[in-house]
Amino acid sequence: MLKFTLMQRSKMLAFPGASSKIAEVVSDGGYSKPFVVFDKGVKSLGIADRVLSALRSAGIAFEEFSGVVPDPPCDVVDSAAAACRSSGCDCVIAIGGGSSIDVAKGVSVLRFNGGGILDYADPSVPMARCPGLISVPTTAGTGSELSNGIIITDPRTGSKVPIVGDKAMSEYVILDPELTLGMPPGLTAMTGLDVFSHALEAYTTVLAGPMTDIVCEKLMQDVAEFLPRAVADGGDLEARQRMLCCASLGGWMLANCCAHVGHSLAHVIGARFHVPHGAACAYACPAMMRFIAPAAPEKVRRAGEILGARFDGSEGPAEIAEKSAEAYSRFCEGLGLQPASELGISRDAAAALAREVSEECFAGLTPRKVSEADARAMLEDVFG
């Protein structure tokens, strides 16, 4: 089966104030009653109300679901889908970060397919096309609005379960940087580091190619330039807009190339120790660089150069990895990220998760085969 690259079906609006056009977007799709998904934090900050007010002003009726929680469990998705069906809504609007968009994607899946959301973790289970998802991201991180992934937590195991939702991607995306103004520095840093991880891992997966490489290199460059500005000044509209666009394009790269063992480490660390996803990706990145450098030395070197590392051309893979990893760690330090050593997670507790990392679905896309021993070594590197 042919795998075409750079497929992108979402219709996008990307400019300051774009969220004010939400009613026109709903009408453009031929929809009349949205089911609006968000978390209580987005509501309390008044961000959700900016979108809801635009719907009210246009006379569009809607139903609200504010039960989104971080790392959303399957029961939240299943109950939201039941509420959507019972209310007679004909489209879904997601307002928020990756958790809200993942829940909204799950609702879209269950609107057109039976069962519960975890049924679709099995790729052999057929999924009908799921139109009508309108995504309004309010953080510049996951890029879920343009990715094909749905990350749901299984409360029975405490594991994050990736679901491939090629048929449940956003029909419309609204990128309004005004919705991200004033985001706290810590959250800005963590979500922005997630964007860098998406670009670097997509750049180095076995699915990467020359066209996606160009996009990923530019994304890494822009994150290196604009994330420090966004962290330093929450009102820097240019930096906010560039990071929001980078986040979406990073999600697009995930849809084309996926991630690899860096995200496998992050998913397991995040699920087991409740580390925010962007921070978990950041903690995993230096160890991941050291592991993949023998298979992708030039790409690891390019990432290091983007982050300020200097090379004289004599370096072998191990030294390339070390210089690039050190440059990345300095970048994180400059953003104020708490060191992994201060999280209170023991090296032995982390190493015990090695098999789970090596068997996580993204690990198989790493440019080197990841054994359980390899995963253990990376976990020990992260927390050693």
pLDDT confidence of residue 167: 94
Compute the distance between CA of residue 19 and CA of residue 22 in angstroms, rounded to an integer: 6
Tokens (6 digits) for 166: 């090629």
Give per-residue pLDDT as tens, 357-368: 999 999 999 999
How many angstroms from the chain centroid is the CA of residue 179?
A: 18
Tokens (6 digits) for 47: 């961000």
Give per-residue pLDDT as tens, 99-155: 999 999 999 999 999 899 999 999 999 999 999 999 999 999 999 999 999 999 999
pLDDT confidence of residue 218: 98
Compute the distance between CA of residue 361 and CA of residue 151 in angstroms, rounded to an integer: 12
Neighbouring C-beta atoms of residue 58, cutoff 10 Å? 12
Tokens (6 digits) for 57: 């002003």
Compute the distance between CA of residue 319 and CA of residue 293 in angstroms, rounded to an integer: 9
SS3 161: strand
Res 31 pLDDT > 90: yes
- Read off the amino acid at residue 74: C
pLDDT confidence of residue 3: 76
Compute the distance between CA of residue 288 and CA of residue 242 in angstroms, rounded to an integer: 26
Res 2 pLDDT > 90: no
SS3 212: helix
Give per-residue pLDDT as tens, 178-218: 999 989 999 999 999 999 999 999 999 999 999 999 999 99
Strand (E) or helix (H) holding 204: helix 185-204
pLDDT confidence of residue 75: 96
Give per-residue pLDDT as tens, 162-181: 999 999 999 999 999 999 99
- Is the sign of the CA dihedral 141, 145, 147, 148 positive or negative? positive
Q: What is the DSSP string of 98-123?
A: HHHHHHHHHHHHHHHS-S-GGGGGST
**Please, what are the domains in the chain?**
11-180 (3.40.50.1970), 185-383 (1.20.1090.10)
Q: What pTM, to 2 d.p., does this model score?
A: 0.94
Compute the distance between CA of residue 383 and CA of residue 234 in angstroms, rounded to an integer: 31
pLDDT confidence of residue 285: 98
pLDDT confidence of residue 251: 96
Nearest alpha-carbon partner for 68 in 47, 38, 94: 38
**Phi, psi (5° rounding) for residue 140?**
-105, 80
Compute the distance between CA of residue 31 and CA of residue 259 in angstroms, rounded to an integer: 34
**For 23-37, 145-159, 282-296, 324-338, which range has the lowest pLDDT when averaged over its residues?**
145-159
- Read off the amino acid at residue 310: R
Res 294 pLDDT > 80: yes
pLDDT confidence of residue 337: 96
Let me know if 230 is exposed, middle or buried by CB neighbors in 10 A (0-12, 13-18, 19+): buried
- Read off the amino acid at residue 330: R
pLDDT confidence of residue 138: 96
- What does pLDDT average to over the chain? 96
pLDDT tier for residue 384 given thresholds of 50, 70 and 90: confident
Average pLDDT over residues 276-297: 97
- Residues ≥6 apart with Cβ < 8 Å to 177: 16, 237, 240, 241, 244
Res 307 pLDDT > 90: yes
Output the CA–CA distances (angstroms, integers) from residue 62 to 26, 238, 306, 375, in the order listed. Answer: 11, 32, 45, 47
pLDDT confidence of residue 38: 97
